[in-house]
Structure 1
Amino acid sequence: MENIWYPFKHDPKEAYQAHFHKILATSKAVQIIHQYKDYGCKIGAMVHMTPIYARSTEIRDVQAAYYADLFHVRMYLDPYLKGEFPTEFIDELKKHDCMFNYYDGDLENIQNNQIDVLGVDYYFPIRVKARESEFDKSAFHPEYYYETWVMPERKFNSDRGWEIYEEAIIDIGMRIKNDYGNIPWFVSENGIGIEGENRFRNKYGRIDDDYRIEFLKEHLKNTLRVKEMGSNCFGYLVWSFVDNLSARNAFKNRYGLLELDLETYERRPKKSLYWFKQITDAGEIE
């Protein structure tokens, strides 16, 4: 839907049709895999479950957060985990003339084939406020109902501009527990991208990425904490093991525990890799 992604156009009707097909395709994959349940086969999906926070408790801000959550979170979680799209979501698509098309049996397929496990990609929260300016896009976008809000006292990654809010892991886990049947879930992506990591290279040639260690430590602590609170979380994966290619920014921002030299293709451990090995070997975070 965003014109920053290939094919670089803003067409909400086509975008929501693609979203629907992704959810339908997942349900068909679940249907196939569940034939082998007796063999222990399970199937899941990964989502960018970004928590939505309202600027204030004022009713217009809360309403803005409601709609942001409807389009960014419930659009996927409800069909994946409850087998149906939110009624309000369908009403909004019809209202704005971007309702997806479907065949007889498609919605029943989604209803009858829900995933067994959920992967959550989390990097930053979304904070919103009620619109204070006129919506100026020519076609519908969820921002019709809200504007993004930057919390002044936030922690943030200055290279990406993203807020750092590790406590969101708690909110994610408790929502899965309380609203979605406490399905087994895991953190499928979590990490911090930094541009120009050469500035953190020590005299021995290693990148001392203490900022990454701090980021991962705090998010992992909250993952363990929400598990102790009864949320059915069973794992945590770092994004990423090695510096990787981004669809938008190539190798501009580095996420890896392992450095990739683009000229020699050499892989070199960063400080964070040694730290991560230490805590996994010990089975605890200091």
Structure 2
Amino acid sequence: MTRLPDDFIFGGATAAYQAEGATDIDGKGRVAWDTYLAQEGRFSGNPASDFYHRYPIDLELSQKFGINGIRISIAWSRIFPEGFGKVNQKGVNFYHDLIDECHRRGIEPFVTLHHFDTPEVLFDKGDFLNRETIEHFVNYARFCFDEYGDKVRYWITFNEILSVSAGQYLLGKFPPKEQFQTDKMIQSMHNMMVAHAKTVVEFKNKNLKGEIGIIHILEQRYAYDEQSVLDKKAAQTDDVIANRFLLDLTFLGYPTELTETTIDAVLQLNNFSYTVLEDDRDILKKAAALNDFLGVNYYQSTFVKYYDGENLIQLNGTGDKGTSIYAFKGIGEYKFDMDIPRTDWDWLIYPKGLYDMLIRISEDYPNYRKIYITENGMGYKDIFENEEIDDQPRIDYIREHLKAVGEAIEKGVVIKGYFLWSLMDVFSWANGYNKRYGLFYVDFETQQRYPKKSAYWFKKLSEQKIL
């Protein structure tokens, strides 16, 4: 039996662009996704879950089903339509109303400042490859601290820097849809970490009562064949890029020798490099001692086999199991043929990877203070019959991952909460609306909400705290 702490947060996670809809009303500025999705012509960020208008309904459901924390993000372009300059007061007021409703319902808001949605004006100037965007982000964050700092206790600078940078420049599944530009990916990751560091220092200088941290997507890398030296090296290299680089910058303020030499070697494969300014090192080191918490997003782990062929990527965006291909020249190929269950989108269901990652953080970065599991969940093709949704596989997924969390807590890792991705069904960046994660089913035509079987299970868990 696993018992979770009495003060544990049982949360649901959302993101502005994936949930709010209302992308072109009340003065909101455009983001690159608006243009990209229109060009792709497959699906739109409107209406998403219409959270912009229906958040009172979702928060009422949250209260009813035992959810005491919610991740929301502020859409930067709803506050500053161009990313800087003129303020959109309607956007400012919306987030006041949303945060106030959270408190009225007894739900703690965890507020993310950037969740994949840089304003299009800044995106078109290079996004975070342009260092001016760093300063615009810090100014935007400062405005939010001043505006909402008396009512928000938990702030998150960035959600999944790796996903943003890799999606934009390695995998080609985010705008500007470039592939295998590892120099741009690493430079973007570095620059966003500098923006994080400057924002953390700004927050601490204001002496606000709240806490601030960052969210990384962390997925353990394992050698496909533990007896193969090449596979073990491939897994280590891929791990440095996906996990260690960002964790080093977060908690040490600089890359360790292993990280630095590995990153340099990967970039040199294509005669690439990236730029680090001396001031960057100073601010990163200063902020490394100031993070109040780390958010861990975990969905799967990856088994890596050495690969020296040409770069190959095939994204499974439809839920057609077995269609994913990820192979990176000189690094590794992701394998899926182990005796491990996986979702229809080829994501391995491997709770042990979460446990291993949590133990690793506590051992490798002992200056961490506490951890929240800020996203974890299962994309599933929910079947809606007679206004009921039996999503037992999702319940099984959550239970086993929370058991891994409980085991890590028993080993001494400080973990204070778990946020299921997602609170309600939302728009998915690469999958549109056919991949559902929520506790609450959304009929995207009528915008009606229906609690799933998992919602009733989650409610009981939040009351009893026993797995």
- TM-score relative to the length of structure 1: 0.90
* Matching residue within 368, 381, 387 for 1:205: 387
Map 1:223-238; keep pairs closer than 5 Å. 223-238=405-420
User: Could you tell me which amino acid in structure 2 is paired with residue 101 of structure 1?
Assistant: T
* 1:121 shift after superposition: 0.6
Counterparts of 1:49 and 1:36, CA distance in 2: 30
Q: Which residue number in structure 1 is paired with residue 30 of structure 2?
A: none
Quick one: structure 1 residues 23 and 206, their matched pair in 2 at CA, closer, same or farther if it must change by over 3 Å? same
Counterparts of 2:358 and 2:449, CA distance in 1: 35
Answer whether contact 2:221 2:302 (CA < 8 A) is retained: yes
Quick one: structure 1 residues 254 and 94, their matched pair in 2 at CA, closer, same or farther if it must change by over 3 Å? closer
Q: Which residue number in structure 1 is paired with residue 265 of structure 2?
A: 92
* 1:182 shift after superposition: 5.7
Quick one: structure 1 residues 143 and 171, their matched pair in 2 at CA, closer, same or farther if it must change by over 3 Å? farther
* Matching residue within 128, 135, 142 for 2:310: 135
Matched, 1:188 2:188: no
Residues matched between the structures, number: 275
* Matching residue within 165, 176, 179 for 1:7: 176
* 1:211 shift after superposition: 0.8
Counterparts of 1:191 and 1:152, CA distance in 2: 21
Matched, 1:266 2:448: yes
Matched, 1:250 2:436: no
Secondary structure (helix, strand or coil) at the match of 2:215 reads strand
Q: Which residue number in structure 2 is paired with residue 108 of structure 1?
A: 282
Counterparts of 2:430 and 2:241, CA distance in 1: 22
Answer whether contact 1:119 1:187 (CA < 8 A) is retained: yes
User: Could you tell me which amino acid in structure 2 is paired with residue 49 of structure 1?
Assistant: L
Map 1:116-127; keep pairs closer than 5 Å. 116-127=292-303
* 1:186 shift after superposition: 1.5
* Matching residue within 23, 35, 43 for 2:212: 43
Matched, 1:174 2:359: yes
Identity of aligned residues (%): 28
* 1:79 shift after superposition: 0.3
Counterparts of 1:63 and 1:8, CA distance in 2: 29
User: Could you tell me which amino acid in structure 1 is paired with residue 350 of structure 2?
Assistant: Y
* 1:130 shift after superposition: 1.6
Matched, 1:76 2:246: yes
* Matching residue within 23, 30, 52 for 2:193: 23
Answer whether contact 1:67 1:145 (CA < 8 A) is retained: yes
Quick one: structure 1 residues 102 and 182, their matched pair in 2 at CA, closer, same or farther if it must change by over 3 Å? closer
Matched, 1:33 2:203: yes
Gaps of at least 5 residues in structure 2 are 1-168, 313-326
> Residues 43-98 of structure 1: CA distance to partner in whole angstroms, max 9, x if unpaired?
11101101001112221111111101111111211101111123224422552433
User: Could you tell me which amino acid in structure 2 is paired with residue 135 of structure 1?
Assistant: E
Counterparts of 1:193 and 1:161, CA distance in 2: 10
Quick one: structure 1 residues 134 and 36, their matched pair in 2 at CA, closer, same or farther if it must change by over 3 Å? same
Further displaced range: 49-58 or 28-37:
28-37
Counterparts of 2:306 and 2:240, CA distance in 1: 15
* Matching residue within 50, 54, 61 for 2:223: 54
* 1:112 shift after superposition: 1.5
> Residues 127-181 of structure 1: CA distance to partner in whole angstroms, max 9, x if unpaired?
10122x52347xxx96521111224311111x21111001112101110111011
Q: Which residue number in structure 1 is paired with residue 330 of structure 2?
A: 144
Answer whether contact 2:392 2:454 (CA < 8 A) is retained: yes
User: Could you tell me which amino acid in structure 1 is paired with residue 330 of structure 2?
Assistant: Y
Answer whether contact 1:43 1:116 (CA < 8 A) is retained: yes
Quick one: structure 1 residues 31 and 142, their matched pair in 2 at CA, closer, same or farther if it must change by over 3 Å? farther
Gaps of at least 5 residues in structure 1 are none
Counterparts of 2:310 and 2:277, CA distance in 1: 33
Answer whether contact 2:309 2:329 (CA < 8 A) is retained: no
User: Could you tell me which amino acid in structure 1 is paired with residue 240 of structure 2?
Assistant: L
Quick one: structure 1 residues 182 and 215, their matched pair in 2 at CA, closer, same or farther if it must change by over 3 Å? farther
CA RMSD of aligned residues (A): 1.8
Answer whether contact 2:423 2:438 (CA < 8 A) is retained: yes
Map 1:265-284; keep pairs closer than 5 Å. 265-284=447-466
Secondary structure (helix, strand or coil) at the match of 2:304 reads strand
Answer whether contact 1:191 1:216 (CA < 8 A) is retained: yes
Further displaced range: 46-55 or 93-102:
93-102
Quick one: structure 1 residues 92 and 42, their matched pair in 2 at CA, closer, same or farther if it must change by over 3 Å? farther
Counterparts of 2:400 and 2:267, CA distance in 1: 42
Secondary structure (helix, strand or coil) at the match of 2:219 reads coil
